[in-house]
Structure 1
């Protein structure tokens, strides 16, 4: 590619770019808006387009001229070699190869001669100094062996010393462990003896306490029996004289007179039946039921120990009545309530009943 073609390509590219730029300026919205308002437009778009077309045309012409013109290059010259010159050249090349081979052969012979001389020198050196070399090698080997033996002996001594120290330490540990075990055994034995002594003491104290409690119970029982023989009772004690059995819930100051609660109890009974159910006994009054409920815990304890039904959390009939209205003890809140007597045989007018009497 010659210079004309290169310059033509550059001009063609620049011309096309200038023409495109002028065309884009002419189509710009601001430029079109100015022309629509009557303003005189700038000549720059036309200049760019005309100049671009001119430059592109010039570049195209230069490309065509350069493409069809001769580039002025020379053809290679073919040299014709004669027969004599060719033989002379071949002779020179053969002579050069022979000289190179002779040089290589000479160098190889010199190298072999040097190696042979070095081998002879080594043999001569060995012949003259072999005793010294063998002696030195033997001395070195002996020194190495001696060093190994000494190192082995030293290591063995160190190992034996460490083994003895470990054995002594192990024996000390065993002795220390034996002392600790013995101390712990003695401590456990002392603790066991102490516990046995404490248990024996506690057992003796328990036996003594039971004996005292039994004696106190027996004394209290005898005292109660003696009081009962004299007709003296206390609240919560079981009363049994002939066929009359009950639990004392109220006494006077002497204890010889008071009131007892029956051991019998009826469930779901009407007031009419309850009021005449138990001969010699009557339903409790309002004041009596309050005293009974105040001593309920002691009374229930005695009833339960004697195998009789206890006072339950139920409604209980009272002897109080006024006309067709009867009264009962309400378990909810411990209040005294009343109900109609006209329908006392049906639910919910059936309640529990216990009876009281004097002694």
Structure 2
């Protein structure tokens, strides 16, 4: 069974067409049900496709030679949404010409264009950026928001929890994902008024397919004891970059240690299987593909520096969310919330 086509912004990312086409080709080799709409400069795309006949036969090209710059302001990019590869990939989802869009381009522009073209789902005030992060456990953890909203109120946090849990049920297979709110401590008295109220609402909610476990501190995010971590975009972006920085620090420290002397180099050869496992676990390409949750369509953000493997993983994320009907799952949970009372009354304006 083939899935709806996936629109790929072939011009986005640090290396543009070559890596995006290589990534799509790798995804196609792994899953031959994938079909693609490749958006970008037709001549450059065709040249890249010469090396990937399997992808060529499963793709259509939508020509466009205008690209959103990596440092371009979202407001400037919005004015050119109808002429850029990013904007046309999103428009393909809006028109039904593709089921999902994948781009490695400017995150702010992608968010702005996606929100304007696809609009937020009924019952969702703001979309959130969610990503899978590695853990020490058997499951990856989903974290949101990672930067789409610098400020989030009580209602937003509750909606993020519902969206994150729906995504987690697809990613982990858990019927009731474990959800926690990011806080400065795990005690119930800790945190802002917004966090306290959101926690009270989630504790009292019944009938939702999630298990609310209270608060979590940033140093426990990757332990494997939680499936969804919910926060505002400001705190989430800082936490994500701190995690990524710590991972780079560890790998750089090991590299320096293993090359500092002949004895260290011998030690590296002995411990190479373990260090390779660590490198694989920390490689962001193996967890590439952040999702804008809460839109009337699937949009996946690939890291700008992603290699072909990373792009292929982002495409696979888009395909899986289409296959498992993420938007329908979120809609069903929002409808369930709107029909149930919670302790202390309904969520503000949520019903």
Q: TM-score, structure 1 length as denominator?
A: 0.19
Q: Higher helix proportion, which one?
A: 1
- Structure having greater relative contact order (Cα 8 Å, sep ≥ 6): 2
Query: Larger Rg: 1 or 2?
Result: 1
Q: TM-score, structure 2 length as denominator?
A: 0.19
